[in-house]
Structure 1
Amino acid sequence: MGKINMQKVLVGGLIAGLFLNIVDYVQFGVVLKDQMAAAMQAINKPAITNAQIPYFVVLDFVAGVFLVWLYAAIRPRFGAGPVTAAKAGIAAWFVGGLLVTLFMWPMGTMPHNLMITTTVVGLVSWTLATVIGAKFYTEGAGMGAGMGAGAGMGARM
């Protein structure tokens, strides 16, 4: 079992993080902006300000790096490829998205329709971000590009 190529994790992770930032901008900055502001107002909290946005941008890049690292970590067992990358993204979403939503659900801090929407979008975006970032991951020199080398191995369930 080879070592994780942290340079490639960082490259793929930053690309995955960029994708997550684009999705989050569209989701929270455009589509759900008014609904999120109303939800925050309902619990006596201010809407997100421009000064807070860099915090969320950094978190998306950190999440992207983690997603590609997780792919690299499970790749030796499941094989290289988009199926393995999708499994890594779904596993991370299960812990960081679905379980968090389920813990928050009974507290009523956010309308359930928003929780469902953001959780479903998270499933899709985290999965796609991992697949995209994994394309830029290789184990080491001469091992082929990201998911090209041994990509067929990742197709098995």
Structure 2
Amino acid sequence: MTAQAHPFVRRVNWLHVIAAGLAAGLFINIFEYVAHRVLFNNAWTAAFRALGKTPTGWGAFIPANFFVGLLMVWFFARLRLHHDEGVISALKSGLGIWAVFWFIPMMAMMPMDLFPNWLLVSVSVLGFVEVNLAALLGAWLYNRA
């Protein structure tokens, strides 16, 4: 029997994914702004200056972070179909997104010696916090919508 023919098969609610994903993306964008433009602004400026560059193009991350929020909530929605609808599935989706979009890229840049390692580790650690908080928010909104 196919998934569509079975009357009790739960499906991903795309309207909920979009609404909760955009909210999660907004949370990520706010957190990223505070982290990179307030807390680490001087460190990023110095790191780019050492490369003979000026830190520009931060605006490109805004739509990317909304995409990350959408992807994370979609991942949660898929997980909840086969696992629980709560915190564990939310944190699994957050962990997966963090690994792909924060941890791997930051660790891959370390051997290139482009930026200070402490800054890359700090971004990865803050990313872990922000993406899991955003995952919890997105999951809560998805389940409530």
Distance 2:90 2:67 in 1: 17
* Divergent runs of 4+, >4 A: none
Structure 2 letter corresponding to 1:124: V
Residue from 73, 78, 91 that aligns with 2:96: 91
Residue from 108, 114, 118 that aligns with 1:109: 114
Shift of 1:78: 2.0
Distance 1:33 1:105 in 2: 19
Higher mean alpha-carbon deviation, 90-99 vs 110-119, is at 90-99
Q: Across the two proteins, how many residue pairs are aligned to each other?
A: 137
Per-residue CA deviation, residues 61-91 of structure 1 (Å, 9 max, x unaligned), is: 1111111011011112221012210111011
Are the aligned partners of 2:68 and 2:97 in contact in 1 as well (CA < 8 Å)? Answer: no
Are the aligned partners of 2:76 and 2:139 in contact in 1 as well (CA < 8 Å)? Answer: yes
1:7-156 matched pairs, under 5 angstroms: 7-48=15-56, 52-138=57-143, 145=144
SS at match of 1:45: coil
Structure 1 letter corresponding to 2:76: Y
Shift of 1:59: 1.2
Distance 2:17 2:38 in 1: 30
Shift of 1:54: 3.2
Distance 1:114 1:22 in 2: 19
Alignment TM-score, normalising by the size of structure 2: 0.88
SS at match of 2:53: coil
Distance 1:102 1:31 in 2: 21
Structure 1 letter corresponding to 2:72: L
Are the aligned partners of 2:107 and 2:120 in contact in 1 as well (CA < 8 Å)? Answer: no
Shift of 1:113: 0.6
Across the aligned residues of Structure 1 and Structure 2, the Cα RMSD in angstroms comes to 1.3
The structure that is helix-richer by fraction is: 2
SS at match of 1:118: helix
Alignment TM-score, normalising by the size of structure 1: 0.82
Partner of 1:154: none
